[in-house]
Amino acid sequence: MLIPRRDTGFVHPQGSEITPRAVYESRRALLRQLAGGAAGAALAAWAARDALAAAKPPGKLAPLPGGPSAVDGAVAMESATAYQDATGYNNFYEFGTDKSDPARNAHTLKTRPWTVEIEGLVKKPGKWGIEDLVRLSAQEERVYRLRCVEGWSMVIPWVGYSLAQLIQRVEPLGSAKYVEFVTLADKAAMPGVNSRVLDWPYTEGLRMDEAMHPLTLLAFGMYGEVLPRQNGAPVRLVVPWKYGFKSAKSIVRIRFTEKEPATAWNKAARNEYGFYSNVNPQVAHPRWSQATERRIGEDGLFAKRRKTLMFNGYEAQVGQLYAGMDLQKFY
């Protein structure tokens, strides 16, 4: 496999704490006390604004503010990852396999004009310009945990709206059971596409009920600005209870299908990357444990690995989607 590992000598960059631990621990304690009842929604909005302020972007991109979200689980009560870490340390193999390659190479990506084609088993197929997609529904700020299959994690304030808003607009047929996402594969702009790392274009998929879940986000921004190119501009998917590679970047096509779509990493290594790829500390990757994770920004000498949460901490919201399923088999 081509995912870098510690035992291959890969050196992770050092992140920086955004908020002193004593400060945000006391803040979280207060939030836990007050999150119930009528104060909950107001506190969630306050926490989202606080997370954004703590990890302020440099202001080089167009602003894209998001309003508070009423979706259950939309705001993780945790300190946001530093903007420079979230934009400088990520996987976007179309631009290279090193963590710094996307930030270094993605300047070649042209995000205007941009269209997303809706096709397959829907009543209203067609092409959507990015401007029309942005205006389709009110933008919300969602502060989500992001867990990579490699064993590291972040907390990112995204801007977007539930994918369900778009799905309802295009009216899937009753025979549509899955949603496939196809991303851009431009050899001229994306040097990684000229490699054989994966079968291009990069594709991902969700079951229809997963795609319709209100936590599944169609994202256009992060940290109060439009998406940086290296993070999947101009539109990407964010599915917070699944490993990060399930959240397709720079989407150009959304297809509704009756059969489970083939997905990029599942095609590359079926025994390592299942279709569902839900975050599950009890199901190890064949080559490493998933029981713990390293939070980017907590890289000090005495930093401890965090325990990975079932469904990345979203079990209360999404656990019912998988009731009765063997999660060891359907990993």
Mean pLDDT (10-residue bins), the chain, 331 residues:
36 34 38 45 58 72 97 96 96 98 98 98 98 98 98 98 98 98 98 96 98 99 98 98 98 98 97 97 97 92 91 98 97 95
**pLDDT of amino acid 47:** 58
Residue 286 lies in a domain: yes
Residue 207 lies in a domain: yes
**What are the tokens at 242?**
């699944």
**pLDDT of amino acid 8:** 33
Residue 209 lies in a domain: yes
**pLDDT of amino acid 54:** 58
Residue with tokens 């990493």: 265
Residue 43 lies in a domain: yes
CB-CB contact of 192 with 94 (8 Å):
yes
Residues 6+ apart with CB under 8 A from 242: 276, 277, 278, 279, 312
CATH number for the domain including 24?
3.90.420.10
**pLDDT of amino acid 225:** 97
Say how far residue 210 (Cα) sits from the centre of its chain: 14
Total domains, the chain: 1
Residue 6 lies in a domain: no
**pLDDT of amino acid 51:** 59
Residue 2 lies in a domain: no
Instruction: Using alpha carbons, list the distances in angstroms from residue 68 to 48, 118, 138.
Output: 8, 28, 10
Instruction: Using alpha carbons, list the distances in angstroms from residue 154 to 114, 118, 227, 304.
Output: 28, 31, 16, 15
Residues 6+ apart with CB under 8 A from 310: 279, 280, 281, 282, 319
**pLDDT of amino acid 108:** 97
User: Amino acid identity of 187?
Assistant: K
**pLDDT of amino acid 140:** 98
Give the pTM: 0.85
**pLDDT of amino acid 11:** 32
CB-CB contact of 238 with 250 (8 Å):
no
Report d(CA 92, CA 233) in Å as an integer: 11
CA angle centred on 42, ends 40 and 46, rounded to 5°? 115
* Domain residue limits at 237: 12-322
4 beta partners: none
Residue 305 lies in a domain: yes
Residue 237 lies in a domain: yes
CB-CB contact of 136 with 166 (8 Å):
yes
